C-alpha cells in the first residue's frame, strides 16, 4: 500500500473541522496517471495530491474520478505540509504566503474548475438545503453579514463519486471572491473556515488553517 498522510484543510480558529486531504509525499512511488487515479478513488477523499518535487513544490491533484489542473484545498494543504513559497500545478505557478497561523495561496480565477455559484436569501436557507441529484457542481451561498463580508456556504460536487457534499472548497471560494470583487470570510460545511482576498496583480487569495487528521 502506498504511504500517504491525511490533513484537514480550512479548519476553524480552534483547529476543528476542515476538509480531509490525502497527500502522497513520494509521488515517484505512483508515477502513472492511471495508478494515481485508482489510488485517489480507493482513498475516497474529495481530493488526493501527489508530490512530484517537494523542493520546487510540484504537485498533481486528483478527485476520485478525475485529474484537476488546479484545486484550492489541495494547494493550501500541500503548501502547509511542504513549507514552500510556491507550488507548481498543471494550471500554473501558485504563490504561497503565511499569516496569522493561516496558509494562503494566490491563483488566477480562471484556473478554478467551473462551478454554479447559487445565491440564497439567508444562511438558514443554505443550512436547510438537501443534497441535489448528480449532474451539476453547485456552490450554494448566502450573506451572513454583507457589510462584514461574511458568507455561509455549502458545496455539492454532483459527480456521483461518493462525495455528496464537499466540506470546504477553495476553488469555489476563489470564484466567488472574483465575482464579488471583495475579500470574504466563508463558513462552509459543518464549520470549516476559509478567508479570501484580492491582490493588486489580479490574483485571488484563498487560505486557512491546516491540521493533521486526528489532531
- Residue whose grid cell is 505512483: 30
CA proximity to 67, closest of 114, 111, 34: 34
For the segment 47-71, the average pLDDT, to the nearest whole number, is: 97
pTM listed for this prediction: 0.96
- Cα angle at 187 between 41 and 13, to 5 degrees? 95
**Domain match, 31 and 47 both:** yes
Q: Is residue 175 part of a domain?
A: yes
- Does position 1 have pLDDT exceeding 80, yes or no? no
Q: What is the mean pLDDT of the chain?
A: 96
Domain of 46 in residue numbering reads as 5-105
- Residue whose grid cell is 476520485: 64
Number of folded domains that form the chain = 2
**Domain match, 40 and 101 both:** yes
Calpha distance 10→188 (Å, rounded) = 9
What are the tens digits of pLDDT across the range 141-182? 999 999 999 999 999 999 888 899 999 999 999 999 999 999
What are the tens digits of pLDDT across the range 81-112? 999 999 999 999 999 999 999 999 999 999 99
Helices (H), 44-99: 72-82
**Domain match, 94 and 155 both:** no
Domain boundary among 53, 87, 105: 105
Q: Is residue 215 part of a domain?
A: no
Q: CATH number of the domain at 47, please.
A: 3.10.310.10
Q: Is residue 22 part of a domain?
A: yes
Using 50, 70 and 90 to split pLDDT, how confident is the model at 207? very high
Amino acid at each position: 500500500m502506498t504511504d500517504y498522510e491525511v490533513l484537514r484543510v480550512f479548519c476553524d480558529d480552534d483547529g476543528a473541522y476542515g476538509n480531509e486531504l490525502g497527500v502522497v509525499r513520494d509521488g515517484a512511488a505512483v508515477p502513472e496517471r492511471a495508478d494515481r487515479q485508482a489510488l485517489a478513488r480507493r482513498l475516497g477523499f474529495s481530493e488526493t495530491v501527489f508530490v512530484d518535487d517537494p523542493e520546487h513544490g510540484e504537485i498533481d491533484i486528483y478527485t476520485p474520478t478525475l485529474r484537476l489542473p488546479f484545486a484550492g484545498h489541495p494547494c493550501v494543504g500541500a503548501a502547509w505540509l511542504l513549507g514552500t513559497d510556491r507550488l507548481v500545478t498543471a494550471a500554473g505557478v501558485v504563490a504561497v504566503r503565511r499569516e496569522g497561523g493561516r496558509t494562503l495561496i494566490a491563483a488566477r480565477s480562471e484556473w478554478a474548475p467551473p462551478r454554479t455559484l447559487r445565491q440564497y436569501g439567508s444562511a438558514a436557507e443554505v443550512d436547510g438545503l438537501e443534497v441535489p441529484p448528480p449532474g451539476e457542481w453547485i456552490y450554494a451561498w448566502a450573506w451572513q453579514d454583507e457589510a462584514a463580508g461574511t458568507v455561509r456556504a455549502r458545496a455539492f460536487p454532483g459527480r456521483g463519486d461518493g462525495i455528496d457534499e464537499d466540506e470546504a472548497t477553495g476553488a469555489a471560494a476563489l470564484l466567488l471572491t472574483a465575482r464579488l470583487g471583495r475579500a470574504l470570510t466563508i463558513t462552509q460545511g459543518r464549520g470549516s473556515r476559509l478567508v479570501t482576498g484580492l491582490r493588486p496583480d489580479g490574483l485571488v487569495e484563498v487560505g486557512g488553517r491546516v491540521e493533521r487528521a486526528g489532531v
